[in-house]
Amino acid sequence: MVDSDRIDNLIAAVPPALALRAGLDLGIFTRLGGSAMTADTLGAALKIEPDRLSRLLYALASIGLLEVKDGQFRNGAEAFAFLDASKPTYRGGDHALLRELWGADLLTAESLRQNRPAALHDFSEAGPEAAVAFSRMLAPGGVIFGRHLAQKMDLSAIGSVIDIGGGAGTILVGLREGRPQIAAMLMELPTVAAVAPAILSEYGADDVVVEEGDITVAPSIGRHDLAILKAVVQVLPPDQARSSILNAARCLTPGAEIAIAGWGVVDDDRLGPPEGVFLNLTFLNLYRHGESYTEGQYRAWMTEAGFRDISRSRLTDGCTLFRARLAG
C-alpha cells in the first residue's frame, strides 16, 4: 500500500530549515556561544521582544539545535561546534545567500512558465551597489571554503595562487591563514574587481592583487602554481564553461594544480548528489544558461585543457571538488 510519508516528510522539512536560517540571521548561536541565557536576556542583547523571540528559541530547541532547561537556552552540540561565527569550524557563513537562493527556489514554476529566469542574476550587468552587496554576502562563506581547501591540499610547494571569479576574493583569506607568504591574485569582472579591495582590506588582505578580466575570454596576465574556480563554471553556458577551464589552464605553470569547486555538479545519471540536482533547479531562476554540469562534462573539459590525474572528492561542507595537474 502506498502512503504519503515521503510527501509529508518533504513538507515538514521546510519549517525547521527556515528556523535555522532565522537563528543564523539574528546571530543567536554566536551570541549564546558557550553560555546559557533566558529569552529576556537574549532578547535584550539582540534588541528583540523576548516573548516573540522565545517562539523561535523553542522551535530551535525542538529540533535539537538549542537546549533548554529552567528557561535557560544554550547551544546544542552541533550548534556549539558549527553555528557559532567566532569558531573556525563555522558552517553558517552563507546564511545571507540562502535568503536569495531559497527565495529564488519559490519561483521555479514561474521561471518554467515564462521560459526565463524569474529572479535573474547577471554578474556582468551588476551595478556598483549590487556588486558590493552580493560580494559581501559571499565573503564569509569564501573564508570558510578557503579553510576547507587548505585542509584538503598540500600548500607547501605553492608560491602563487589565483582565485578566478571569486567575488571579493575572501577564499584567499581562508586559504592563506596558515601560509600568508603565498602570493595571491584575484581575477574578476570589472564591477566586482572595483569593490573587492575594500572588502579584502576589512579581512586584512591588502596584499591580494586584483586584476580585472573575464576568464571566458582570456587568461590572467600572470602564471601561478594553483588556480581556484569556485562556483564559476556552473553559472556559465556550456561553451563559456569550457572556455573558462581552457583559459584557467593558461594561468598556470607546467605541473601546477587546479581546484574547481561548487555544489553545481551532478553524477552522469543526473540523479545525485542531491545538492547538485536541486541547485540545478535554483539555476533556472537565477541564470539564463548556468546549470549543474555532469562529472563527465567536467572531466572532458579538463582533459582538453591539458589536465591530468583528475580526481573528484567532497569537502566537509558537501561541496564537490575537482583537482588535477597541468601536464608539464
What tens digit of pLDDT does each residue of 164-207 get? 999 999 999 999 999 999 999 999 999 999 999 999 999 999 99
Statement: residue 107 has pLDDT above 80:
yes
User: How many C-beta neighbours within 10 Å does residue 318 have?
Assistant: 12
Whole-number pLDDT of residue 124: 60
Whole-number pLDDT of residue 140: 87
Pairing of the two strands 160-164 and 183-188: parallel
- Give me the mean pLDDT over the 268-292 stretch: 94
Judged by average pLDDT, the poorest of 31-40, 89-98, 244-253 is 89-98
- Give me the mean pLDDT over the 250-269 stretch: 97
- Provide the pLDDT confidence category of residue 125 given band limits of 50, 70 and 90: low
- Please answer whether residues 98 and 149 qualify as being in contact, where contact means their C-beta atoms are separated by less than 8 angstroms: no
Whole-number pLDDT of residue 129: 77
Homologous superfamily of domain range 95-326: Vaccinia Virus protein VP39 (3.40.50.150)
Percent with pLDDT over 70 in the chain = 98
Threshold 0.85, pTM exceeds: yes
Whole-number pLDDT of residue 169: 96
* CATH topology agreement for domains 5-82 and 95-326: no
Rounded Cα distance, 138 and 285, in Å = 19
Crossing angle between the packed helical segments 50-62 and 39-46, to the nearest 10 degrees:
110
What are the grid coordinates assigned to 151, written together? Answer: 585542509
Could you please state the CATH topology (level 3) that the domain comprising 5-82 is classified under: Arc Repressor Mutant, subunit A (1.10.10)
- Provide the pLDDT confidence category of residue 317 given band limits of 50, 70 and 90: confident
C-alpha dist (Å) from residue 231 to 42, 65, 66, 147, 180: 36, 29, 32, 16, 24
- In the chain, what's the furthest Cα-to-Cα distance? 65
**183 by DSSP, 3-state: which?**
strand
Residue type, 61: A
Judged by average pLDDT, the poorest of 50-54, 241-245, 312-316 is 312-316
In the chain, domain spans: 5-82, 95-326
144-155 burial, b if ≥16 CB within 10 A, otherwise e? bbbbbbbebeeb
**According to DSSP H, which parts of 184-261 are helical?**
190-193, 196-202, 238-249
- Provide the pLDDT confidence category of residue 106 given band limits of 50, 70 and 90: very high
Statement: residue 311 has pLDDT above 70:
yes
Whole-number pLDDT of residue 141: 87
- Provide the pLDDT confidence category of residue 95 given band limits of 50, 70 and 90: confident
Percent with pLDDT over 90 in the chain = 84
- Give me the mean pLDDT over the 55-63 stretch: 98
- Angle, vertex CA 230, rays to CA 227 and CA 235, nearest 5: 120
